[in-house]
Amino acid sequence: MIDSDATLRARLLWVEMYRQNGDAGLTCRRCGISRPTLRKWFRRYQEKGQEGLRSRSRQRITPQETTLTADHEQILLEMRRTRHLGPKGL
C-alpha cells in the first residue's frame, strides 16, 4: 500500500498538533478525525517516528484455519437435504 505525501503530511500534522496542545478532543475536531484514529497514529509515531505514519496492510499473514470438520460438514449437508433448510434455516 502506497501512501501519498499529502496523507503522510496530514498524519504528521495531526500528531504534531496533538503534541503541542495536548488536547485530543480539540485536535480531532480541528482535523476532522476520530479519537481512536488520533490515538493509533500518535502511538505509531511514538514507536517508529515518521515511518510509523505509513499505512500497513490488513491482509492476514497466514490463511485462516477451517473450523468445520468433515463430520460436521456431512451432518449439515444431510440436514439441508432432509429438512430442506438453507443457510438461514440452520
Query: What pLDDT score was predicted for residue 86?
Result: 64
pTM, to two decimals:
0.60
Q: Give the model confidence (pLDDT) of 43-59 as tens digits.
A: 999 999 989 999 888 78
Q: What is the 3-state secondary structure (H, E, C) of 28-71?
A: HHHHCCCHHHHHHHHHHHHHHHHHHHCCCCCCCCCCCCCCCCHH
- Band (pLDDT 50/70/90 cuts) for residue 68 is confident
